Amino acid sequence: MDFEWVAIALGDVTWITLAFILGFLARLINLPPLVGFLATGFVLNYLGATSGVTLQKLADLGITLLLFTVGLKLNLKVLIRPQVWSVTLLHISLIIAIFGTLIFSLAVLGVPIFSELDLKLSILLAFALSFSSTVFVVKTLEDQGEMRSLHGRISIGILVMQDLAAVIFLAVAAGKSPSAWALLLFLVFPLRPLLHYMLQKTGHGELLILYGLVLALGGAELFEFGGVKDDIGALVMGVLISTHPKATEIAKSMLGFKDLFLLGFFLTIGMSGQLTVEALIIGILLVPFIFIKSALFFTLLTGFKLRARTALLSSLNLLNYSEFGLIVAAIGVSQGWINAEWLTIIAIALSLSFVVAASLNNIDDKLYLQFRTFWMKFQRRERLDDDLVLDTHGATIAIFGMGRVGSGAYEKMRQRHGETVVGVDFDSYIVKRHQSKGRKVLHGDPSDADFWEKIEKDHSIELVMLALPNLKANLDALEQLRQISFPGRIAATARFKDEVNLLKEAGATAVFDIYTEAGVGFANHVEINTDTNYI
């Protein structure tokens, strides 16, 4: 046994333990645990600790697996929408112009740290600050169960376009171009049927997880060998198998690994530079500028025909700085362009932007509902076909979430009550699949205040069944029902026993514990469908 590795591991275990404690405290005050992880990095930085080998490897693996899972849920058609590529390019250009002017003005005024910057370096820092964090946004959307919602898909599409711009910049900054072997990377696309075949044959256990790791890490290494950023390789491999029916299953099976490895990423942010009072002040002063970024996103998205609510939720998702800023700062420091203190400044601004964004994303629907009159001033009359307010066409039973549980519930309720049952899902691709089978399934968001206001006026829905992907999504829908004083019955699904009481306290009249009730349903099925005498 290599005792040097044991010593490294023990050191990192101490940091991870502290991360757990602070993450737990963050959860107690209704903030995402990642806020506690970020705080851990700064505490360790203040104490003079440095990132260990194990911790850095966790961070690198976490980002690679994150990009792979993003690829699993990415539809390339989203990237060609004007709401994605046009908004991304316009936003980056406007932020560079605004932030670059402000930074250069501070440099001209001789403000400490800024005074060493010329116009070119001011533009460089503005470019770094124009990006939003892929890690943070994907984690937030997954926690809220909104990865496949329209605002989630728009946000992810913008982030992917930003990542492509980042790859181009890194290649130019490093003075590198893809190697001659890079052309061979196109050969991975004809391999798609083989990748699908192997995925189908891996089963549902540990081999499935291992296959996911092989694709993610192997794709990263392959693209790195070709002179292309490794994370793009993980993303491409995810996209190649994203259309397979087991893509969702492999994403879920790797969720724990990804979250564990991302812990290293959040810890290393706070440990990326030496803390000083001056850096702390400037980092804090940079935080309010994320609202300029978000306001520009909102204005551009509504200008491209998105509803005010969709534009607001997308803008709140992107209300943060990106880890890419640290990469740019590191390049600037290594080239001798800027002071090393900029690493700490950007790390502070990045971390605090996560705290602000996490807090506002927790109440995004409340923010829309409370200030809806103001947001609606920006909404255009002409809107996109997949971003209209849902009309249930007089249905009396609405089932939200058309996954396996929701689909089963839909079929049973339709057998009993006929065509008065409607299914609702915010994933347009799931909706199309159900519609192709003749089911009455509509595209909509259960936490949409505009939809519930319409329901309140129509008074047609008598029973709402919530089969949404997680507790947060169910609670958001229940909050909207409470806002309109919904008089009908509300049933919700729970995955864990401690969720049952939370859902009932939030207004559910009946809660179905999926795993407990599955056994009861199995027993009933056996009794009904077999004639065996057990006595």
For residues 333 and 410, membership in a common domain is answered with no
Ranges 6-10, 269-273, 341-345: which has the least confidence = 6-10
- Examine residue 300 and state whether it is found in any structural domain, yes or no: yes
Residue 28, helix vs strand vs coil? helix
For residues 328 and 185, membership in a common domain is answered with yes
Instruction: Compare 393 and 203 and report the one with higher pLDDT.
Output: 203
For residues 416 and 441, membership in a common domain is answered with yes
Q: What is the mean pLDDT of residues 178-189?
A: 74
Residue type, 423: G
pLDDT band at 54 (very low <50, low <70, confident <90, very high): low
For residues 119 and 168, membership in a common domain is answered with yes
pLDDT band at 455 (very low <50, low <70, confident <90, very high): low
pLDDT value of position 51: 62
**Other CB atoms within 10 A of residue 231 CB:** 24
Identify the H or E element spanning 493: strand 489-494
- Examine residue 384 and state whether it is found in any structural domain, yes or no: no
The answer to whether the beta carbons of residues 492 and 518 sit under 8 Å apart is: no
Q: Is the pLDDT confidence value at 189 over 80?
A: yes
Instruction: Compare 41 and 119 and report the one with higher pLDDT.
Output: 119
- Examine residue 321 and state whether it is found in any structural domain, yes or no: yes
For residues 272 and 404, membership in a common domain is answered with no
CA 169, 170, 171, 172 torsion-angle sign: positive
pLDDT value of position 166: 78
For residues 396 and 464, membership in a common domain is answered with yes
CA 472, 475, 477, 483 torsion-angle sign: negative
Residue 440, helix vs strand vs coil? coil
Contacts with 249 (C-beta within 8 Å, 6 or more apart), sequence order = 204, 208
pLDDT value of position 108: 92
The 3-class secondary structure across 222-288, one letter per residue, is HHHHCCCCHHHHHHHHHHHCCCCCCHHHHHHHCHHHHHHHHHHHHHHHHCCCCCCHHHHHHHHHHHH
Q: Is the pLDDT confidence value at 60 over 60?
A: yes
Query: What are the DSSP calls for 309-361, one per residue?
Result: HHHHHHHHHT-S--THHHHHHHHHHHTTSS-THHHHHHHHHHHHHHHHHHHHH
* Both structure tokens of 320: 């943060």
Q: Is the pLDDT confidence value at 238 over 60?
A: yes
pLDDT value of position 9: 45
Report which listed range, 84-88, 457-461, 530-534, is most confident: 84-88
Residue type, 306: L
Q: What is the mean pLDDT of residues 512-524?
A: 69
Residue type, 489: R
Which of 330, 352, 376 is the last residue in one of the domains? 376
Distance of CA 244 to the CA centre of its chain: 21
Q: Give the percent of the chain with pLDDT over 90.
A: 14
- Examine residue 383 and state whether it is found in any structural domain, yes or no: no
pLDDT value of position 8: 46
For residues 486 and 339, membership in a common domain is answered with no
Q: Is the pLDDT confidence value at 525 over 70?
A: no
For residues 439 and 371, membership in a common domain is answered with no
- Examine residue 535 and state whether it is found in any structural domain, yes or no: no
* Both structure tokens of 420: 């008065």
Whole-model pTM? 0.76
pLDDT value of position 390: 66
Q: How many angstroms separate the CA atoms of 450 and 295, rounded?
A: 21
Q: What is the DSSP letter of 389?
A: P
pLDDT band at 82 (very low <50, low <70, confident <90, very high): confident
The answer to whether the beta carbons of residues 229 and 184 sit under 8 Å apart is: no
- Examine residue 490 and state whether it is found in any structural domain, yes or no: yes
CB neighbour burial string for 470-495, b if at least 16 within 10 angstroms, e if fewer? ebebbbbbbbbbeeeebebebbbbbe
Q: How many angstroms separate the CA atoms of 58 and 36, rounded?
A: 17
pLDDT value of position 287: 94
The answer to whether the beta carbons of residues 484 and 456 sit under 8 Å apart is: yes
Q: How many domains does the chain have?
A: 2
Q: Is the pLDDT confidence value at 277 over 80?
A: yes
pLDDT band at 7 (very low <50, low <70, confident <90, very high): very low
* pLDDT, tens digit, 9 for 90 and up, residues 463-480: 899 988 788 888 888 888
Q: Is the pLDDT confidence value at 5 over 60?
A: no
pLDDT band at 386 (very low <50, low <70, confident <90, very high): low
Which of 376, 409, 436 is the last residue in one of the domains? 376
pLDDT value of position 302: 93
Burial class (CB in 10 A: 0-12, 13-18, 19+), 533: exposed
> How much is the mean pLDDT over the chain?
81
Q: Which residues pair with 489 in a beta bridge?
A: 463
Q: What is the mean pLDDT of residues 65-93?
A: 84
* Both structure tokens of 354: 């996560």
**Angle at CA 214, nearest 5°, toward 208 and 217?**
135
Q: What is the DSSP letter of 390?
A: P
Which among 225, 221, 219 has a CA at the least distance from the CA of 182? 225
Q: What is the mean pLDDT of residues 295-311?
A: 92
- Examine residue 381 and state whether it is found in any structural domain, yes or no: no
pLDDT value of position 387: 66
CATH number of the domain where residue 266 is located: 1.20.1530.20
pLDDT band at 486 (very low <50, low <70, confident <90, very high): confident
pLDDT value of position 375: 93
Q: What is the mean pLDDT of residues 407-416?
A: 88
Q: Is the pLDDT confidence value at 372 over 60?
A: yes
CATH number of the domain where residue 489 is located: 3.40.50.720
- Examine residue 160 and state whether it is found in any structural domain, yes or no: yes
pLDDT value of position 122: 92
pLDDT value of position 520: 63
For residues 117 and 17, membership in a common domain is answered with yes
pLDDT value of position 362: 85
Which of 355, 376, 397 is the last residue in one of the domains? 376
* pLDDT, tens digit, 9 for 90 and up, residues 440-452: 888 877 777 777 7
For residues 366 and 441, membership in a common domain is answered with no
pLDDT value of position 2: 46
Burial class (CB in 10 A: 0-12, 13-18, 19+), 424: buried
pLDDT value of position 462: 86
pLDDT value of position 356: 92
For residues 348 and 310, membership in a common domain is answered with yes
Domain with 54 in it: 3-376
pLDDT value of position 388: 65
Ranges 46-50, 292-296, 418-422: which has the least confidence = 46-50
**Ramachandran angles phi, psi of 314, nearest 5°:** -65, -40
Q: What is the mean pLDDT of residues 284-296?
A: 95
For residues 167 and 123, membership in a common domain is answered with yes
pLDDT band at 353 (very low <50, low <70, confident <90, very high): very high
